[in-house]
Amino acid sequence: MKKITLLLSFIVCVVFAQAQTNLVVNPSFETWTGGNPDGWTIQSPSNGSVSVSTEKVLDGTSSLKVTGGSGTFPVWQSVPVTVGKTYILSMSYYIESGDNTDARIWSGFKNGTTLFSENEMIATTYYSILRGPGCENLNGSSYFPDVKGEWKTYTVEFLVPARSEEHTSEL
């Protein structure tokens, strides 16, 4: 069984590029209720776990620690956005151990409760930057560089396309 350990911190996740106001609730995973970080939805497979970490932090006093075997651990939050405004998406991650497929981002836009389709995302021209570095092959998302033992940050700037009401990022 593979064992991975990944820590996440959304330092300035989705912000207005002009105002630098963070739109993410609990971006550094500082507050928790019932074993879950406030403001976040987490879908953990049965063979893994999520927990608060106070040992390896980038901002504040805690981070989200993901530990597990195989499978994915979707962690997400949707934020309201305004069509035609520019935003910055930035996330930081720290890989303690893993198999080179440990951290990735899957970002997109929603209209109401419906996520944009792959073709709609491609049409926004932001497909590759919102799905991670090296995602030019248009088949999902690519993994972040697997550098273990240090914090890495991925940052992109994007303009919200027509029909968007929310931006969602899943890790």
pLDDT tens digits, residue range 27-85?
888 999 988 889 888 876 667 778 888 888 888 899 888 877 666 777 888 888 888 88
Inform me whether the pLDDT recorded for 168 exceeds 70.
no
Q: What's the pLDDT score for residue 105?
A: 75
What is the number of residues in the chain? 171
* SS3 of the chain: helix, strand, coil, percent, to 5: 5, 40, 55
Residue 4, pLDDT > 60, answer no
pLDDT tens per residue across span 130-141: 777 656 555 556
Cβ proximity of 63 and 5 under 8 Å: no
Please give the model's pTM, rounded to 2 decimal places: 0.77
The one-character DSSP state at 119 is: H
pLDDT for 13: 45
Tokens of 70: 């195989």
Instruction: Say how far residue 151 (Cα) sits from the centre of its chain.
Output: 15
pLDDT for res 19:
59
Q: Is residue 67 within 8 Å of 4, Cβ to Cβ?
A: yes
CA separation (Å) from 50 to 16, 36, 110, 140, 154? Answer: 29, 8, 26, 24, 21
